[in-house]
Amino acid sequence: MALNLIMLGPPGAGKGTQAERFAKGHGIPKISTGDILRGAVKAGTPLGLQAKAIMDRGELVSDAVMVGIVRERLDQPDAAPGFILDGFPRTVVQAAALDAIMVGRDPLIVVDIAVPEAELVRRLASRRICETCGLNAEGEMAESGICQRCGGKLKQRADDSEAIVRERLKVYHRNTEPLIDYYRGRQTFRSVDGAQAPERVAAALIAAVQEAVNQGSAA
């Protein structure tokens, strides 16, 4: 059974880090919508050229174009054993389109990394970025004020002030949380406690995915 995985979670939940780790551990691609959009534009595919024209006008890429680019990416051979989608779907409309793409394939496993808002604000407000090399720093490295990669000075990211963080979370709740309601009733939906240490979240994620695989196989 292919591991077709979507990871949901608010900003600061750590889903990007966990998705990268899981993908490497299971030999499947982590598919970021930003990366495949840039790839399609660079490759000059018809959809990529269409997306470039839209972005050059300063507009957002439409659901139809984004869905088409995702479909093309999921049809590539490296995604046959499975994939982790990062940043897609973002809306219920996109989720419904993804369901159509998945017809005839193994089921989607959907994992929501849940973290209380107070913890998200604390995490994001404590993040730092290196002025020299742009490395994102968290935890002890952020507290040190010095980049471990290049020795540069760390500063707070412009979008990580508490007021901006809370606004980003409001946007998430309004736009993305309906996805959780869309997927929650499925046998392959799982929620993981993301307020734990990263190692424990990783272990919980692996267990949740395996349980969902077993459930999907029995369905």
Q: Which residues are tagged catalytic?
A: 15, 90, 127, 157, 168
Strands 82-86 and 3-8: parallel
Task: Look at residues 158, 108, 160, 155 and name the one whose alpha carbon lies nearest to residue 132.
Answer: 155
How far apart are alpha carbons 54 and 205 in whole angstroms? Answer: 37
Q: Which strands, in side-by-side order, build the sheet including 154-156? A: 136-137, 128-130, 154-156
Q: What is the DSSP letter of 195?
A: T
H-helix or E-strand spanning residue 181:
helix 177-183
Contact (CB, 8 A) for 185 and 152: no
How far apart are alpha carbons 18 and 24 in whole angstroms? Answer: 10
Residue with tokens 């272990």: 203
H-helix or E-strand spanning residue 3:
strand 3-8
**Is the sign of the CA dihedral 39, 41, 47, 53 positive or negative?**
positive
How far apart are alpha carbons 2 and 81 in whole angstroms? Answer: 5
